[in-house]
Amino acid sequence: MPQTTQTTKAAGLSLRARSPLEILASNAMLFLPSILCLVAFAIYPLFYSARLSLTRLESAAGTPVWVGFQNYRDLMSDPQFWNAAMNSLLFVSATVSLQVLIGVGLALFFNLNLRFSWLVRSILILPMLITPLVVGVMWRALLNPEWGLINWLIEGVGLTAPNWLGSVRMGIVTLIMVEVWQWTPFVFVVVFARLQALPTDFYEAAEIDGASRYKIFRYLTLPLLMPAIAFAAVFRAVDSFRSFDLVYGLTYGGPARATTTLSFFAFQHGFQFQNYGYAAATSYVMLLILVVGTTLMFRYVNLRPEHLR
């Protein structure tokens, strides 16, 4: 018998019945470590940030001076804040809609299952794995006005290349283009996975009924893809709103603040100008926009498995 006890012990088995309290405690222990970590290094900093946004603090070593809502009032009357907000609005709406359009198109195209399309699919995954910072540097080289490859190509066919990164009007367009280059594959991968998982019998039925290709797409494929499209769009909207690395690598907010988005604006005040209270207030305005935005979006999109809704 001692032999058996040892083997059961080794497998982590115990034959003693557990009390409800013990079960509750062991179940709570599943979550506790994660929750503690998140509270300490995500939730507490968020509250810290809220407090900071009500103070003036202009060097890390200084003591915060309580100023109430002054930072928020200053923000509302700061034309550069509104400029950044407009840039963010343009950036997010343009990139998300372009990415959805092109991404869905790509998914349909790859659904033809051409030979070697797996290879191109794996290539298209690469851009979104690498840091936007390097994407920015890479495109700054490609778009260089003196020796860049793209201008050489454009001028090679006899056209004049736009001033990609040097003009106020083109700056934000270029930023949008590069973001679309990097992240359209995300929409494509998500939509394509859904497309490949669609049951084929619907299609057989539709074809037997004599539905045209357009009608099959419009009334069958598109509605079935909608959840995946919405999922991808929400993710892209949130991520392009909150990230600042591409701006940092590609344009550093210029020329003349034409590509300064809200997150880059907050970054500049928090890091470059060491205006911590002001940066915190900006990030709280961003959080507010995110909370309202995602709450609205989640009414239409379900991200979680059914049992957690």
Partner 1 sequence: MKSLIERIAAYTALIFLGVMGIAPFLYMFLLSTKRRIDIVVQVPPQLTFNWETFLRNYDEVLFRLGMASFIFNSAVVVGAATLIALILGVPAAYGFSRLRFRGNSGLANWILSLRFMPPIAVAVPLFLMMREIGLQNTYMGLILPYVSFSLPLVIWILIGFFDEIPRELDDAAMIDGCSRYSVIRHIMLPMVRPGLVTAALFSAIFIWNEFLVALYVIDAHSRQTISLGAATLVSAQRPIDWNIAAGVGVVTVVPILIFSMFIQRYIVRGLTAGAIK
Residue 181 sits in the site that holds partner 1 (CB under 8 A) = yes
In 3-state terms, what secondary structure has residue 66?
strand
Angle at 201 between CA 196 and CA 205, to 5 degrees: 130
Binding mask 52-91 for partner 1 (x = CB under 8 A): x-------x-------------------------------
Token pair in block for residue 145: 């006005």
d(CA 65, CA 76): 20
Residue 1 sits in the site that holds partner 1 (CB under 8 A) = no
Token pair in block for residue 31: 């979550």
Residue 186 sits in the site that holds partner 1 (CB under 8 A) = yes
Residue 30 sits in the site that holds partner 1 (CB under 8 A) = yes
To the nearest whole angstrom, how small is the minimum distance from the Cβ of residue 252 to partner 1? 4
* Residue in 15, 21, 157, 296 binding partner 1, rule: CB under 8 A: 15
Q: By rule CB under 8 A, what count of residues binds partner 1?
A: 105
To the nearest whole angstrom, how small is the minimum distance from the Cβ of residue 218 to partner 1? 21
d(CA 74, CA 253): 21
* Residue in 5, 7, 45, 202 binding partner 1, rule: CB under 8 A: 45
Residue 157 sits in the site that holds partner 1 (CB under 8 A) = no
* Stretch touching partner 1 by CB under 8 A, among 70-78, 200-208, 215-223, 237-245: 237-245
β partners of residue 56: 65
Residue 131 sits in the site that holds partner 1 (CB under 8 A) = yes
To the nearest whole angstrom, how small is the minimum distance from the Cβ of residue 192 to partner 1? 9
| 102 neighbors 180 (Cβ within 8 angstroms) | yes
d(CA 19, CA 209): 62
To the nearest whole angstrom, how small is the minimum distance from the Cβ of residue 237 to partner 1? 10
In 3-state terms, what secondary structure has residue 122?
helix
* Stretch touching partner 1 by CB under 8 A, among 36-44, 66-74, 84-92, 211-219: 36-44
Q: DSSP code of 270?
A: I
To the nearest whole angstrom, how small is the minimum distance from the Cβ of residue 92 to partner 1? 13
Minimum CB distance to partner 1 smaller for 46 or for 76: 46
d(CA 260, CA 175): 10
| 165 neighbors 172 (Cβ within 8 angstroms) | no
Residue 171 sits in the site that holds partner 1 (CB under 8 A) = no
Residue 283 sits in the site that holds partner 1 (CB under 8 A) = yes
Q: DSSP code of 63?
A: P
Residue count of the chain: 309
d(CA 117, CA 136): 27
* Residue in 49, 97, 111, 167 binding partner 1, rule: CB under 8 A: 49
**Near partner 1 in 243-282, by CB under 8 A:** 244-245, 248-252, 254, 263, 266-267, 270-271, 276, 279-280
Residue 134 sits in the site that holds partner 1 (CB under 8 A) = yes
| 180 neighbors 95 (Cβ within 8 angstroms) | yes
Token pair in block for residue 241: 């709103």
